[in-house]
Chains A and B, each alone.
Chain A
Amino acid sequence: MLSGLVPTEYYVALSALVFVIGAVGVLTRRSAIMIFLSVELMLNAANLALIAFARQWATAGAAVALSGQAAVFIILAVAAAEVAVGLGILVAIFRYRHSADVDTLSGVRL
C-alpha cells in the first residue's frame, strides 16, 4: 500500500531532527520569544511524526489512522493556547523591563 511513497522512517528521522533543533534552540537562545519559537518547533516535530505514523497505521484500519490525525489538531490547539498565555506573560514583563532577554531574569536556570 505504501509502495512508491516516501518511507515512514524518513519522516520520523526528519521529525527527530526538527525536535532536536528545537531542543537545542531552547537551551541556547537567550530571547524568550526565540525560546518559545523553539518550543513550537518541537511541537510541530511531534505533529509531523504523528502524521507520518498515522499514514503507516492506515493498514490497521481507518479508526487507528484517524485517531493519530485527530491528535494533531488537539496538539495544534494546545500550542495555540500556550501562545496566548505565554505572550501575555511576556508582554507583562516587557512593559516595565523593555527586554525579552531571559538572562536578565535573575537566577533563571535551564
Chain B
Amino acid sequence: MDINWLVISPPLVLLITASVGVLMGLSFRSTRPVALLSLLGVLVALVLNAQLFGRSEPLSAFGLRYQADTSALAFNTLILLGTALVLLVSFDALERGLGGSEYYPLMLLSATGGMVMAAAGDFITLLLGLEILSLAVYVLSAWRPNARESEEAGMKYFLLGAFASAFLIYGIALMYGATGHFTYARVVEQLQAQAFTQTALATLAGAFILGGLAFKAAFAPFHQWSPDVYTGAPTPVTAFMSVVVKAAAFAALLRVFALVYPNLNGALTQALVVLVALTLIIGNLAALTQRSVKRLLAYSAVAHAGYLGLALLAADTDGGARAVIWYLTAYTFMNVGAFAVLSLLTDRNDRGDDVERFAGLGKTRPYLAFAMTLFLLSLAGIPPLAGFIGKIFVFQAALQAGYTVLAIIAILTSVVAAFYYVRLISVIYFREPEYAEVGSKSAMTGVAIAVAALATVALGVVPGWWYGLLGVGRQLLAGF
C-alpha cells in the first residue's frame, strides 16, 4: 500500500489546520484568529494543489483509492477557492452575531471531505469523503443562534441526508456483491469481463448509488430539502453548500458516470436524462414565484444543477467532463458573489432576505448593486459573462453527445430563468428604497465580492486559459 504524501497533502493540510483551529478557538474570545488561520490553511492547500497540475506521471495514493488526476485537481481547486471566498464572507458575519469559532474548523473539515470525494477512486473512499463533507455541513446549517428555521434546517438536512447516504451505502454493498470489488478500476474490470453474469444486481446497485448522489447534487425530485435548508442556514453556509457541496457531488458523479456507468444498463442513463429534465423545469419554474431572495437563489441553484447534469450526461467524452468543470468554475464565483451581497443586506441574525431589501439598492449602495447585477446577469447567462460561456460549453457537449431534446429544454428554461434574474435587477434599480438603512458593511466580504466579480468577468472574456489548462498533461479522468 503506497501512501503518496505529496498527493494527499492538500486535504491533509486542511485537516491539520482544522484540528489546530479547534484548539486555538478555546484560547481566544474573538473568532478572527481562527478565521485567519483557516484562510492561511486554505491558501497553503491551494498552492500544494496547484503544483500537482500538469505533471505527466499518474498521481495516486492508497492503491487507486485516491486519484489526483486533472479532474480531481481542478475540482479541488474549485473547492478550495469556494471555501476561501466563503471564509472571507464569514469573517465579519460571524462577529456580528453568529458566534462560535468552531465554525471555521467545521468548514475546513467539510472541504476536506469534498476534496477526498473529488479524488475518490473507490466507492468506500467516496462514502467516507461524502460523510466527512456532510456531517460538518449538517452542524453548520443549524448554526444561527435562537433561530428556529436554522435548527429545523439542520434537522431536515441531517435526516434526509442520512436517508440518502443509506441508499448510497446499500448500493455500494450490492455493487460489491455483483463484482467483489470497491475500487472503480476493479469494478469496471469485472463488469467488462466476458464471464460476468450479475448484470441485474449491478444495475440495481447503480440505481441506488445514483439516487444517493443525486440527493447531494439536488436533482429533482430529490431537491426538496434544498430550498428549506438553504433558507434556514446562515447565508455564508448557504453559499458554501451551494458551491462546495455541489462541486464535490458533481466531482463524484462525474467520475462514477464516466467510468462505471457506461458498463451498466442504459436504463440508468435514461433515468438521469429524466432527472435532468425535471431539475431544469422544476428548478426554474419554482424560482419564478419566490418572494425571498435566498429562496430564489436556492431554486436557481437547483436549476443550475440541471445544466451541470446535462454536461454530466456527456461525461464519457472529454468535452462533457470539461464542460462540467468549467461550468462549476463559473458557477462557484457568481453564486458565492450573489450570496456574499445578500449576506451584507440581511440583519445580524441573517433575517430579512425578501426582495424588498433590494429595492433602491442602486441608489443607496451603488457598488453593491452593480456587483449583484453582474452576478445575476452571469447566472442568467448573458454574454459576455462567465455564465454565458459555461452554458455554451454545456450545450455544445450535450449536442455532441446527441441529447438534442434535452438541450432544447435547457435553452427554453434558461429563457425563463433570465426573467426572474432580470426582475430582481429591475427591483434594484427601478424601485424606491423601502428600508432607511439596510444591512452592514464589511471589508472582507467586499474583497470576496470583488474577487468573485473580477473572476466572473475574466472567465467570460478570456474563457480559453482555464479550459485549456484542463487539457494539459494527462487525460482529464484517469484511466487505469
Seen from chain A, the residues whose Cβ lies within 8 Å of a Cβ on chain B are 12, 15, 19, 22-23, 26, 32, 35-36, 39, 42-43, 45-47, 49-50, 52-54, 56-57, 60, 64, 67-68, 71, 74-75, 78, 81-82, 85-86, 88-90, 92-93, 102, 105-110
Find A85's partner among B127, B139, B163 (CB 8 Å cutoff).
B139
Min C-beta distance of B109 to chain A, whole Å: 11
- 9 extra interchain contacts, Cβ-Cβ under 8 A, other than A15-B173, A49-B173, A67-B182? A32-B159, A42-B166, A49-B174, A74-B124, A75-B169, A82-B162, A86-B158, A89-B154, A108-B156
A57→B190 CA distance, assembly (Å): 13
User: Which chain B positions have C-beta within 8 A of A110?
Assistant: 160, 163
Residue B172, interface by CB 8 Å: yes
A55→B167 CA distance, assembly (Å): 22
A93→B159 CA distance, assembly (Å): 13
Contact B124 A71 (CB under 8 A): yes
Tier of interface size on chain B: 20 to 34
Residue B316, interface by CB 8 Å: no
User: Which chain B positions have C-beta within 8 A of A12?
Assistant: 177
User: Which chain B positions have C-beta within 8 A of A109?
Assistant: 224, 228
Closest to A60 in B: B180
Which 8 pairs, one residue from A and one from B, show the smallest C-beta to C-beta distance? A42-B166, A53-B177, A46-B173, A49-B173, A46-B170, A57-B180, A46-B169, A39-B162
Residue B138, interface by CB 8 Å: yes
Contact B151 A49 (CB under 8 A): no
Contact A50 B156 (CB under 8 A): no
Min C-beta distance of B306 to chain A, whole Å: 20
Residue B128, interface by CB 8 Å: yes
Q: List B121-150 residues whose CB lies under 8 Å from chain A.
A: 124, 127-128, 131, 135, 138-139, 142, 149
Contact A89 B155 (CB under 8 A): yes
Number of A-B residue pairs having CB atoms within 8 Å of each other in the complex:
116
- Interface of B, helix, strand, loop or mixed by DSSP: helix
Residue B354, interface by CB 8 Å: no
Closest to A42 in B: B166
Contact B155 A105 (CB under 8 A): yes
- Interface of A, helix, strand, loop or mixed by DSSP: helix
Contact B151 A89 (CB under 8 A): yes
A38→B174 CA distance, assembly (Å): 20
Contact B177 A85 (CB under 8 A): no
Contact A74 B181 (CB under 8 A): no
Closest to A81 in B: B135
Closest to B201 in A: A12
Closest to A51 in B: B173
User: Which chain B positions have C-beta within 8 A of A92?
Assistant: 142, 151, 154
User: Which chain B positions have C-beta within 8 A of A85?
Assistant: 135, 138-139, 158
Min C-beta distance of B162 to chain A, whole Å: 5
Residue B403, interface by CB 8 Å: no
A19→B138 CA distance, assembly (Å): 24
Find A89's partner among B128, B142, B228 (CB 8 Å cutoff).
B142
Closest to A82 in B: B162
Closest to A68 in B: B176
Min C-beta distance of A36 to chain B, whole Å: 7
